[in-house]
Structure 1
């Protein structure tokens, strides 16, 4: 493969800038800049010289092929974080025949060289995008190979069950015990139950990865925008005594005790003849209905009946004026706001309690194909059963990207940054 390089740290001014090279000749090219590096994984403090001029003092290290992130020979140059230095070194590397890496190309090479499977790569992408502790923990489970370990266990069951079935097919005329097919069926049933349990945990895991939406709904002037601003501790939404001020859905992203949550400030729900306001109200209803949770806010504490879902929260607003104390909040004094955030967290936490390790739709689809192949197999003849087991095994191979992975790679790496 080509010798590639990229700045692995964010562009701009900083304390340190790291440039990473990967591919055949990485060490040789780097030694042309910093001198001999004989020992792998040893940090060398050197002058980096270009055209007999010392450009910077750097830390340099190299990794043998087979012992690096990409599986190729890799060199890292730790420069001082002035953009001019990174530009000068990049220009020198281009002159040496290296090329700038594409987004995700280092990780793509790790996959192609067998250093990571497809599920681990998806987890790495999630880790790079993680904003909360719950997202980080979920991503780390994938990146550490937990799904690969679980899949290996499933495949071992498949292989054992398949062996029983193949014996029954290949030696049907021989003296094979009658209980062999029955034992295979029992093993398949346990495998189907295990995969189905992981499928059932997909919804909660996906919500952790993508985040929850909580809609604040109610009539005009109920204090929805004021509540959003109080939680954000800044003016996110326009607050006015004029009813119908909020026309579009305003979003506020929160890290709520480790859970990713987006609060939605929606248009006040009422009858209106204003065409723009009517459009905003319709959009508010659509987003609120699709949200994971709704907070119904009004002066009386009543909920919007057609939007109410079990588990929703109903609140009295403007507690500083009404004097209400039960399920009441005030965006002016802050009374009750911490309590309602705790309620939101408790409800969402209950929903993610059963989260599995499958959090991408691609992974879900492969597991569903495997589960479908294993479903209702109790009365299949052994010849057809053997084919269903092969289908399930094929789906598990696709799950980890061992086959048919090219269709997914470009899509997966679209979200990766250059240098990773």
Structure 2
């Protein structure tokens, strides 16, 4: 990356005004900048109360300052932190003072974390987990991202890579003795070890993807006109998002809202009332009905509010409008509710949360994103091929391909474009 040896600075706390504002400085001139502002030497890794002054001696603020000599720092290089008051004027004055120091420049998006990656403080999987942690909006997203950022998946990769290296060593030993008469095809124990590794990686590939945590569990509310869909939709998303009217066909298009229930992300979709084509003469309503059917095919779950047995086979039968005078119960209703009065809503929501947790990644379990799954699939394919080959040379080549895929997975080999896309997701001060 161009300018990597520059010393960078940026605000790492939230947008001002705030009680505390944190300014980070990372690079070879971080110590010089800290000494200029604090006016004295600061003991490493110890919070020190100090006045901060500009180059002309003007008092900027009184703050806690910290000094982390590299490489034992968050970025792997000299790093200073200024914990000052979080007012806009205070932070602007400190940033302006830093901008006058030779060799310093403002940081770009994600540049502090990118330097941590470049200096070996974190690997690519941990960096992706950190990016997801910063954007997490639900407890399940936070827990999965935390597992990635803390290195759970990275440690697993290193374990797998170590096993592949041992297998590769066996191949090299066999090839060294290839000119002797006692060289045989791979023994059963060797194939068993590869098979066990293939099976273990397959279980990881079968896990729900991390993207599911962001998209949320998709729940479609379906049924004929005036079956209570919009009232239930508004109750679930806790807003008047859908228009409620006794006039059939009021909902003409699918309405989506994302909410968090029980720490789990959901996307609820209210759909047009379903009826046969010959029951409506309006082209717009007919389009809405077709879109409703399409939403049902894409749903993780359909809540069916129509006549019992007329919905999709896997739908939940919901006996809605329990408060209505013309209410008709269902023989096998999963839930009997009234969205208007709240009857049965708590039980329905608890059931939805429990069901979603089964489909989505487990709390605290590292979840693979699409890129990671693609690279791990390459490992799986290479190991499967190694497990059936008879020629030691071909087995060795497949094991080499598996190791290369592991390296791409954690960023030992990667591209600048991919890194730009990843670290561009971070804020300036991260």
Asked whether the 8 Å contact 1:70–1:106 carries over to 2, the reply is yes
Of 323, 333, 341 in structure 2, the residue corresponding to residue 333 of structure 1 is 341
- Is residue 164 from structure 1 mapped to residue 154 from structure 2 by the alignment? no
The residue aligned with 1:113 is 119
Secondary structure in 2 matching 1:320: coil
Using the TM superposition, give the Cα deviation of residue 47 of structure 1 relative to its aligned residue in structure 2, in angstroms: 1.9
Of 404, 411, 414 in structure 2, the residue corresponding to residue 401 of structure 1 is 411
Secondary structure in 2 matching 1:375: helix
Using the TM superposition, give the Cα deviation of residue 398 of structure 1 relative to its aligned residue in structure 2, in angstroms: 0.8
Task: Tell me the alpha carbon deviations over residues 84-128 of structure 1, each in whole angstroms, 9 at most, x when there is no partner.
Answer: 211122122222242221111111111000000000011111111
Of 295, 306, 309 in structure 2, the residue corresponding to residue 287 of structure 1 is 295
Asked whether the 8 Å contact 2:338–2:344 carries over to 1, the reply is yes
Using the TM superposition, give the Cα deviation of residue 204 of structure 1 relative to its aligned residue in structure 2, in angstroms: 5.3
Asked whether the 8 Å contact 1:37–1:44 carries over to 2, the reply is no
Using the TM superposition, give the Cα deviation of residue 407 of structure 1 relative to its aligned residue in structure 2, in angstroms: 4.2
State the alpha-carbon separation in 1 of the partners of residues 123 and 361 from structure 2.
Answer: 27
The residue aligned with 1:227 is 232
Task: Tell me the alpha carbon deviations over residues 284-325 of structure 1, each in whole angstroms, 9 at most, x when there is no partner.
Answer: 332332121111123x45543xxx252x31212211014556
State the alpha-carbon separation in 1 of the partners of residues 247 and 414 from structure 2.
Answer: 58
Asked whether the 8 Å contact 2:6–2:105 carries over to 1, the reply is yes
Task: Tell me the alpha carbon deviations over residues 182-211 of structure 1, each in whole angstroms, 9 at most, x when there is no partner.
Answer: 33222111111111111111x255423542
How many correspondences in the alignment?
A: 414
Using the TM superposition, give the Cα deviation of residue 145 of structure 1 relative to its aligned residue in structure 2, in angstroms: 1.0
TM-score between the two structures when normalised by the length of structure 2: 0.90
Using the TM superposition, give the Cα deviation of residue 384 of structure 1 relative to its aligned residue in structure 2, in angstroms: 0.9
Asked whether the 8 Å contact 1:13–1:83 carries over to 2, the reply is yes
Using the TM superposition, give the Cα deviation of residue 405 of structure 1 relative to its aligned residue in structure 2, in angstroms: 4.3
Shift in alpha-carbon separation, 1:323–1:240, aligned structure 2, 3 A: closer
Asked whether the 8 Å contact 1:165–1:184 carries over to 2, the reply is no
Using the TM superposition, give the Cα deviation of residue 349 of structure 1 relative to its aligned residue in structure 2, in angstroms: 2.2
Using the TM superposition, give the Cα deviation of residue 67 of structure 1 relative to its aligned residue in structure 2, in angstroms: 1.6
Which range moved further: 207-216 or 115-124? 207-216
Using the TM superposition, give the Cα deviation of residue 180 of structure 1 relative to its aligned residue in structure 2, in angstroms: 5.9
State the alpha-carbon separation in 1 of the partners of residues 413 and 105 from structure 2.
Answer: 29
- Is residue 208 from structure 1 mapped to residue 217 from structure 2 by the alignment? no
Unaligned runs of 5+ in 2: none
Using the TM superposition, give the Cα deviation of residue 391 of structure 1 relative to its aligned residue in structure 2, in angstroms: 0.7
Using the TM superposition, give the Cα deviation of residue 227 of structure 1 relative to its aligned residue in structure 2, in angstroms: 1.4
Shift in alpha-carbon separation, 1:337–1:25, aligned structure 2, 3 A: same
- Is residue 380 from structure 1 mapped to residue 385 from structure 2 by the alignment? no
The residue aligned with 1:77 is 82
Secondary structure in 1 matching 2:388: coil
Using the TM superposition, give the Cα deviation of residue 241 of structure 1 relative to its aligned residue in structure 2, in angstroms: 2.4
The residue aligned with 1:42 is 46
| Residues 149-188 of structure 1 mapped to structure 2, 5 A cutoff | 149-174=155-180, 178=184, 181-188=187-194
State the alpha-carbon separation in 2 of the partners of residues 233 and 207 from structure 1.
Answer: 22
State the alpha-carbon separation in 2 of the partners of residues 176 and 88 from structure 1.
Answer: 77
Secondary structure in 2 matching 1:41: coil
Shift in alpha-carbon separation, 1:62–1:273, aligned structure 2, 3 A: farther
Of 347, 354, 371 in structure 2, the residue corresponding to residue 346 of structure 1 is 354
Shift in alpha-carbon separation, 1:30–1:38, aligned structure 2, 3 A: closer
Shift in alpha-carbon separation, 1:301–1:413, aligned structure 2, 3 A: farther
Shift in alpha-carbon separation, 1:130–1:349, aligned structure 2, 3 A: same
Shift in alpha-carbon separation, 1:410–1:283, aligned structure 2, 3 A: farther
Unaligned runs of 5+ in 1: none
Using the TM superposition, give the Cα deviation of residue 354 of structure 1 relative to its aligned residue in structure 2, in angstroms: 6.7
Asked whether the 8 Å contact 1:303–1:314 carries over to 2, the reply is no
State the alpha-carbon separation in 1 of the partners of residues 111 and 162 from structure 2.
Answer: 32
State the alpha-carbon separation in 1 of the partners of residues 425 and 113 from structure 2.
Answer: 12
Of 90, 96, 101 in structure 2, the residue corresponding to residue 91 of structure 1 is 96
Of 8, 17, 20 in structure 2, the residue corresponding to residue 4 of structure 1 is 8
The residue aligned with 2:61 is 56
Shift in alpha-carbon separation, 1:37–1:235, aligned structure 2, 3 A: farther
Shift in alpha-carbon separation, 1:354–1:174, aligned structure 2, 3 A: farther
Of 358, 365, 371 in structure 2, the residue corresponding to residue 362 of structure 1 is 371
Asked whether the 8 Å contact 1:199–1:358 carries over to 2, the reply is no
Secondary structure in 1 matching 2:109: coil
Shift in alpha-carbon separation, 1:334–1:186, aligned structure 2, 3 A: same
